[in-house]
Amino acid sequence: MIAASQQDWKTAHKLLDAGAAVDLGDKNGFTPAMAAAMHADLKMFGLLLTRSTNLEPEKPCADGQDLLSFALDGGDPEIIEAVEQRLPILSEWTTSTRRALSRALQAGKNDEIRLLLSKHSAPPTPEGKSVPFLAYAIASSNVSLFNTLLNCGADPNTLLPSHCDKDFLALLPNGLRSYIQEDRNVTMLMLAAGLGQVDYLRTLIDGGANRTRLTTRNKMSALDVAAETGHWRSAQILLGGGPAPENLRIEISLPMQSVALVRDGVPIYHARCSTGRAGYSTKRGEFVITNKERKHRSTIYHVEMPYFMRLSCLDFGMHAGYVPNHPASHGCIRLPEDTARKFFSEIPVGTLVTVQ
């Protein structure tokens, strides 16, 4: 050990030839392999590896540094790679593996990034943070980091921690921030959906992200998050599709109590409707049809709602019902039965519905 730490490689060679124990460290746990890595002596490091029977590259010495840390200090890329390849599967990222990942990300070394990700069962986080790099990439619109991580094997079903870092939460709009702070097991897909990041959504889905997974407390899916935060384009993607609004959409006018079916920018069908009366105002905004039920019964008002078309997973939708010449519903959009039947049969799930 003394010979290695003093770079007396000639003596070290003799000791190795005499059968010295190469894995034995000093009183602080500093080993010959650490000395060779620190001094970037590739030849001696390789010799030590061939004689080693119990390398334990993850084991730190007294000052907290491990073999990878010394290899990074030495800077020899072959030694660094050799140490990384010999790492066991780690449950958490260490200071040295985070440092190695940051170095590989900066240098664009995808093979090394892939190797480091494969050596950990937990997603990588910045030093001192609990939120994964992948979440920071989505929230800060860092396309390069996002694509690199996913292409190198980051899990598209990565979860946010129970308590997120303040700087991460500051990147989020108020509505989404509240959902994330109040719930548990929020996925990257939910995060992207709530931010309206449609390109990230598509990439995560293509990479195998689970669309049906629910949060622990509020039982929210990514589609629910997209709907609640008003991102209808995200909702369409999570539904698996829907017509482009310029090709097909439904427009509901609250002042006129009317509904129009618009195809290719031209209204092709008009009908009366009845929306929420005083105290039960119909929500305004842009929504998508998220599901349809031929025979639906309200669990709140215990009435039949034939040809029900729910809007953005919310507690209202369009359905057949009594249509006077004024707002009369509890918030839904009542349609004449022939109109409801026509929309139910002809308008696909995912179609945009504007209420204004």
**Residue 298's Cα: distance from chain center in Å?**
34
Residues 132 and 232 in one domain: yes
The confidence score (pLDDT) of residue 337 equals 96
| Residue 283 DSSP code | P
pLDDT for position 22? 74
Can you tell me the mean pLDDT for 167-182? Answer: 95
Mean pLDDT confidence for 103-111: 95
**Model pLDDT, residue 17:** 56
For residues 111 and 142, membership in a common domain is answered with no
Q: What is the pLDDT of residue 112?
A: 97
Instruction: Say which residue the tokens 């003799």 belong to.
Output: 14
Considering the domain architecture, whether residues 118 and 8 belong to the same structural domain is answered as: yes
pLDDT > 70: percent of the chain: 94
Average pLDDT, the chain: 92
Q: Over 80: is that where the pLDDT of 18 sits? A: no
Decide which of 194 and 51 is more confident. Answer: 194
Can you tell me the mean pLDDT for 194-201?
97
Residue 100 near residue 127 (C-beta atoms within 8 A): no
Phi and psi for 153 in degrees, rounded to 5? Answer: 110, 5
User: Looking at 67, 101, 122, which one is the last position of a domain?
Assistant: 122
272 with 198, same domain: the answer is: no
Do 2 and 117 fall within a single domain?
Answer: yes
117 and 5 co-located in one domain: yes
Report the C-alpha gap between 309 and 319 in whole angstroms: 6
The most confident of 46-60, 293-307, 341-355, by mean pLDDT: 341-355
- Are 268 and 157 part of one and the same domain? no
CA 126/CA 119 separation, integer angstroms:
17
Residue 123 has pLDDT above 90, yes or no: yes
Give residue 31's domain range.
Answer: 1-122
| Statement to judge: residues 21 and 59 lie in one domain | yes
Number of other residues whose CB lies within 10 A of the CB of residue 336: 17
Residues 237, 332: one domain? no
Two tokens at 37?
A: 């890595």
Q: Say yes or no: 232 and 333 in one domain.
A: no
Mean pLDDT of 286-307: 86
For residues 89 and 146, membership in a common domain is answered with: no
Domain count, the chain: 3
Task: Report, as an integer, the average pLDDT of 195-212.
Answer: 97
d(CA 35, CA 28): 13
Identify which of 6-15, 159-168, 295-304 has the greatest average pLDDT: 159-168
CA–CA gap between residue 254 and residue 57 (Å, rounded):
68
Two tokens at 35? Answer: 């000395």
Average pLDDT over residues 52-72: 94
pLDDT attached to residue 3: 47
Residue 132: CATH number of its domain: 1.25.40.20
Same domain, yes or no: 153 and 100: no
**What pLDDT is recorded for position 16?**
59
User: Which of 94, 122, 150 is the C-terminal boundary of a domain?
Assistant: 122
Predicted local confidence at residue 24, as pLDDT: 82
- What pLDDT digit, counting tens, does each position of 65-85 carry? 999 999 999 999 999 999 999
pLDDT of residue 87: 97
Q: What is the average pLDDT across 146-174? A: 97
Q: Is the pLDDT of residue 15 over 60?
A: no
How far apart CA 128 and CA 106 sit, in angstroms, is 19
Q: Which of 87, 122, 157 is the last residue of a domain?
A: 122
